A and B are shown apart, each in its own frame.
Chain A
Amino acid sequence: MSNVFIAFQLNEDTRPIIEAVLADNPHAIANESPAMVKIDAEGELVIKRESIEELIGRDFDLQELQINLITISGHLDEDDDEFKLSWLN
């Protein structure tokens, strides 16, 4: 199966997002580069609004991801609660 990935700038805003993503996707691997984190995952990667909200203690709109988003690979399925990357066969 192929990998999907998502890369964020590494800053105060993205740290809880990355933490939430890694907690929700145990198969995902974070690769740290200078000022950037690329998260690779086999098959599928899910970002959940609820897990991020729990970490930051306020309401979170998944569109806020875009501010610090560098790139993604995979087919994107996005709604109010989840931001899901996968390769649909």
Chain B
Amino acid sequence: MEIDLRTVAIKPLRHTFDHIARRFGDKPASRYQEGTYDIQQTDIFHYRPMWEPELQLFDKRRTRIQMKDWYALKDPRQFYYGAWTIARARQQDAAESSFDMIEERGLADIVPEEIKQIALAVLVPLRHVEWGGNMGNSYISAYGYGTAVTQPCLYHAMDHLAVAQYLTRIGLVLEGPDALDSAKDAWMTGAMWQPMRQHVENVLVVQDWFEIFVAQNLVLEGLTYPLVYDYLDGDFSANGGTVISMMTRFMGEWSAETAKWVDAQIKVAAAESAENKALIGDWVKQYRPLVLAALAPIAQRAFGDQADTVLAEVTAQFNARCSKAGLTV
């Protein structure tokens, strides 16, 4: 008996879900597309929310920003749950091995006292700022519109908790549990932190979710992260505090990555209409001086005489970044 082997190519009748095919045509879609586009619930809202009966449960009017298609605010990193957890797990492994090495070899003991005090005074209380970032981004994912933007905001909110945990561990490694109590004290009563605390708490009660996005993700993070994880970190490394840089590695990497995502959102929203562009520009102009004022005493503690120069450089870089995203600021 003779057996002929032959390959039969079976063409699938359709390559993806209908709602994805309507957007991109019937071809194989990426996981990101399938997990993102047109997932937002749009119809059949029987009940109005009792706390806000003039709006629907999911409503485009919860921000003054207007978009024809909210899915234009896509994530350049293409994070869906799987891709995001895989990326973060890899970074967590790297961070974990740094912390392990520092703890095993007692490397925290060789950090010069002055550097250590700056780290305890500046880095550790920042964990309370991170909590504000978590709240703001959770709010956006709850009240925002369109999975393309609400999904990465939830990831961003959880990443803020991760950063807060790393900052906590820095305190534990450098000084032990007392570091956290003194950081909480500094946050609640210390003069240096009150302007920042006031600003973070003011952003907590903003209603417009896109305004929170601009205030938190663009302005607050856009000014604070370069200041702390770029300039201050450079100072640490230059003065014998490389150990601290090993512990803040995630924050540096993460802020560079998320800045690309934030810029992409701002760019698309600002390019949509002149109104959006003006509105976002106004928000930047409103929040930038507030954040700079809140950062001033912190920069003073971190950089001493150099504080004004460093802040001016950070501001110039931030302004350049905003212009690149299409804003007039």
* Interface, chain A (partner B; CB < 8 A): 12, 15-16, 32-34, 56-58
Q: Is the interface of B mostly helix, strand, loop or mixed?
A: loop
B28 and chain A: residue at smallest CB distance: A15
With most chain B CB atoms within 10 A of its CB, the pick from A33, A56, A57 is A57
Which of B7, B9, B10, B78 is A57 in contact with, Cβ under 8 Å? Answer: B78
Residues of the B chain whose Cβ atoms lie less than 8 Å from the Cβ of A33: 7, 9
Complex Cα gap A15–B87 (Å): 20
Which of A12, A34, A58 is B9 in contact with, Cβ under 8 Å? Answer: A34
Complex Cα gap A72–B31 (Å): 28
A12 and chain B: residue at smallest CB distance: B31
A16 and chain B: residue at smallest CB distance: B30
Q: Are A57 and B75 in contact (CB under 8 A)?
A: yes
Q: Does B77 contact A (CB under 8 A)?
A: yes
Residues of chain B at interface, number, CB under 8 A = 13
Complex Cα gap A66–B171 (Å): 43
Q: Which residues in chain B, 8-46, are within 8 Å of chain A measured between CB atoms?
A: 8-10, 28, 30-32
* Minimum distance in angstroms from B5 CB to a CB of chain A: 13
In the complex, the 3 A-B pairs of residues with the closest C-beta atoms, listed nearest first: A57-B78, A57-B77, A57-B76
* Minimum distance in angstroms from A38 CB to a CB of chain B: 13
B264 and chain A: residue at smallest CB distance: A57
* Minimum distance in angstroms from A25 CB to a CB of chain B: 19
Complex Cα gap A56–B77 (Å): 7
Complex Cα gap A15–B27 (Å): 11
Q: Are B10 and A34 in contact (CB under 8 A)?
A: yes
* Minimum distance in angstroms from A26 CB to a CB of chain B: 19
Complex Cα gap A15–B8 (Å): 21
Complex Cα gap A70–B28 (Å): 21
Given A15-B30, A34-B7, A57-B78: 18 more A-B contacts, CB < 8 Å: A12-B30, A12-B31, A15-B28, A16-B30, A32-B9, A33-B7, A33-B9, A34-B8, A34-B9, A34-B10, A56-B78, A57-B32, A57-B75, A57-B76, A57-B77, A58-B77, A58-B78, A58-B87
Q: Interface digits, B42-84 against A, CB 8 Å rule (1 contact, 0 not)?
A: 0000000000000000000000000000000001111000000
List 13 A-B residue pairs with CB atoms under 8 Å apart, sorted by A's residue number. Answer: A12-B30, A12-B31, A15-B30, A16-B30, A34-B7, A34-B8, A34-B9, A34-B10, A57-B32, A57-B76, A57-B77, A57-B78, A58-B77
